[in-house]
Amino acid sequence: MNQEIESFLSGHRIAVLGASQTSQKIGNSIVKDLSNKGYSIFVVHPSASEIDGRKCYANLRELSGQVDGVVLCIPPEKALTAVIDAADAGIRQLWLQEGADSPEVLAAAYTRGMSVVVNRCIMVYASQV
């Protein structure tokens, strides 16, 4: 496991963007999987107040100081805004699920001094902790 992965997984308070009220989405699977592995999970969704019985936060700024890292399972055009919001909230660790990254998203994260895991499935690596 590389240093970025180990560092991300050592935090126990994780925000997830990409959970949906349609429970077959990868974001929903990640929320359930990480919760079952003992992580404290915060679901961020711009319009839902609750998903799968969990309170939702409208954006990452609402979680400033409460989370160690953010998992993004959203399209790159939304991920770019999420990276900026995470940096503004003081969150420095990102996990970009496949399909969430783009050159612009990565540049925004690295320019802001963030640690980034890209194109790896967190459910695979969290099982190794």
- In the chain, what are the domains? 3-126 (3.40.50.720)
Report the C-alpha gap between 40 and 30 in whole angstroms. 12
Work out the number of other CB atoms within 10 angstroms of the CB of residue 16.
30
pLDDT band at 25 (very low <50, low <70, confident <90, very high): confident
**Looking at this protein, which amino acid is placed at residue 81?**
T
Closest to 15 measured CA to CA, from 94, 69, 62: 69
d(CA 118, CA 109): 11
pLDDT digits (tens, 9 = 90+) for 36-47: 999 999 999 999
Mean pLDDT of 85-111: 96
Share the mean pLDDT of the chain.
Answer: 93
**What DSSP character marks residue 98?**
T
pLDDT at residue 28, rounded to an integer: 94
Residue identified by tokens 């404290």 is: 40
pLDDT of residue 129: 58
Q: What is the mean pLDDT of residues 57-67?
A: 90
Check residue 60 and give its pLDDT: 92
**pLDDT grade for 54, boundaries at 50, 70 and 90:** very high
C-alpha R_g of the chain: 13
Residue 89's pLDDT band, with cuts at 50, 70 and 90, is very high
- What average pLDDT does this structure show over 103-117? 97
